[in-house]
Chains A and B, each alone.
Chain A
C-alpha cells in the first residue's frame, strides 16, 4: 500500500512568487491535512480537507490556501511568498475523522530567497 506522496520534495522560490505543493493521500483516505514545520514555530496546522470541503483552518494569513479534488488529492498554494514562508510543509491523510492517527508524507522543503 503506497504511503502519502508529496511533490516536489524540494523547491526554491523568490520572494513575491507563488508556489503550489501537491499531496496524494493513501488510497481510500478522504481526509487530508497540511502542516508547516519551522525551527522557530515548530509544527503548525494549516488546514484540513474532507470530501473536497475545508473543515478546519489554522491561524495563517489568506496567502495560504488549499483545495482537494474528487480523488482526494490535495494542493496547497502560497501566494506572494515571504522569506518567513521557508519551511518543511507536511501533508497527512486519514481514513475517517483522524482519531486513529494521521499518516504523514515526507514533506516538501520550500526555500524562499
Chain B
C-alpha cells in the first residue's frame, strides 16, 4: 500500500546539523522527494533521488537512501533560522507513471538562535 511516514517535530540550534527522517513503501522504481513549506506558501522542491541511488548531495543538503530499511533522510548542514519550516517527504512510483505524489505528514523543523 501507499504509506509515507515522518516524525512530526524536530528542534535544533542554529549552526547544528538537522536530520529529518522518512520511511516509505517499497518499489523497485521509485522517485523520492523532499519539499519545504513555509507558512502561507506552497511547496518548494529541495531535492529528489531515484531508488537506484544511495546518496545525493547538493550544497548544504545531503539525502541518504537505505533501500533495505526503506528509509530516507535529509541532512541540512549548518542549519539557519531561515530553514525553519515544514519538510515533506514524498514518493512516486513507476506503476502510476510517476504522475502521483504520496506525501508524508511533514516534519516541523524549528531552528532556534
Residue ranges of A at the interface with B (Cβ–Cβ < 8 Å): 4, 6, 31, 33, 35, 42-43, 45, 48, 50, 55-56, 58, 90, 92, 97-107
CB distance from B108 to the nearest CB of A (A): 12
How many A-B pairs have beta carbons closer than 8 Å: the answer is: 65
* Interface residue from A56, A90, A100 paired with B96 (Cβ < 8 Å): A56
List chain A residues, Cβ under 8 A from B44: 104
Q: A90-B42, A102-B45, A106-B42 are in contact. Are A35 and B101 (CB under 8 A)?
A: yes
**Interface residue tally for chain B (C-beta within 8 Å):** 24
Which residue on B lies nearest to A56, using beta carbons?
A: B99
A101 touches B99 (CB 8 A): no
- Chain A residues positioned under 8 Å from B92 (CB to CB): 98-99
Q: Tell me if B105 is interfacial: C-beta within 8 Å of chain A.
A: yes
